[in-house]
Chain A
């Protein structure tokens, strides 16, 4: 059964890969691309709002751009970029050779990718969704054209991918840890990924159900949300937010994890209060499911429900506060190095705390009647999502870039990116608090002169261009680094604490020639402090079993992509139903092939590994 992997073309290699490190690169490229698309949409929004009575994007088109900005940033940029980090780092941090289900890992990526492409096809096929990223049923059922159908079917497909990713990382972290890697020795980023994966597992099915109802109502004559036939549009709001609120923790917990790694590494200190960090992460994950209705205070649920959800929401500030203080105490007395990732981490604390404070303000149900649907809310969630998640992703990209690609990003350019982004971010969103308090509603495409909104909006727009400039410099940095960057060592920053810094940059296909023996928290740091060069192996050198690559994940996802087009047009065109069923048959057929064709993988022989490892050591 053991065969040597044949040489393949790069494109075919990436289409068929099941290697978590290559899948991480795929997620990074696809997520990065959608981040640029969503960023352009944000710029368009800000250009339209730069002055009163502007006519750059009017009415319906503005609604489409606004909806796609939110949907793209959450589902197609932030989520996949987090999966990029998780794929690149988690298996190595726990001393594993791959994830538990490499095939499923590839399938998850391709489902996300085709879902995202499908959603964005709407721009060229009659118009994008236009009911906001929350797509409330009372709006979206009335939306003409196919925009909302693209939303429903596209998110359905990419949601399956995310769910698979979640299950995969749960099993990986439970079953694949190296000897000695107990739960309480796992790096904080791994813990965060673990809790996030559990949230994904329980949060995505309600979204799937909500999307199915919406699909039934719009395409197949269902009545879930039609009041005339007994339906109830509030059901959508509940299902959406039962998913939607855990979703923000799905995004922000890995961000906390990334920052925990960075604080410890560049303070040259063990993370302060590690066990309380773990506890806080799990508690946030748990409470995250108890608070969804704080998005619906003005729906009319009554004072008791509002009070319960208000108190539960405020309670989340407690574990989050624990984390903030732990990060501060990690830096306290540390040997701090202000590298680019560390700059983001330090800037994250005040930025995120401001978002947290406005969060508690929004949680006060009575006060929320004033903030609801105003720019105050827009300012709040951009402070937590950009100030938390986007900062973390930018920090993580700079931090782990050498591990993923084997080259150090340029620090001068990195710091330029940071300062432009930080200034731009606060310029854009700080003023929006006040615009909101002054009465500017969100999701409205223009405003009249003389209401005091002019200066604030202009400042906000200028800030957005700062962030755009920062992104361009980051891209320049990537290009320059790829062309002639400095080659990264295994321990690229020189102060690595966790296992990923013990393997070559980029790591070999099998990660560890010998599975390491983990002897405590910050496993690599322990070995370095004892003067050792590498990790203590837990097994003799031997053949390594590897999974086969496969094109089936791509084909399974392509089938659903085709099916979605068919079902969307089945009411207007007779071919719709055939294409829909044909697409499903492609998917089911590929799943059948996956089931009946044995896949035992292959072995990399001991001699080849010794040859490869010699090259690294020299």
Chain B
């Protein structure tokens, strides 16, 4: 569980605006950088304003992120990013669909696993029909699909 308070939000805004300002102002003197420079200046002003307001009003509730619960989902997205082009979209879509359905399912008995397989199959057929046949989208493939 990651805890997030108001100060971390202010620091994030400040760091982000400084980074973007650095990128904008170190880009060169070309006129193409005028607009990003203007924007990053506005962001720096806003982040300082939020810092001032933080000291003015510190009362803020703390929010939490249940990273443990989300790790499987985030991992499956990473799997797609790393192997998406290599293993093909349809193969990985089946895998990810099954993983998400199983891990985040309330019931994990044989019946629900069977339903997971059935729904995955139907959904992937629908996706294949919609994108590959109707819209002629040639997604990266692996062996037969």
Query: Do chains A and B stick together as partners?
Result: no
Residues of B within 8 A of A (CB): none
Residues of A within 8 A of B (CB): none
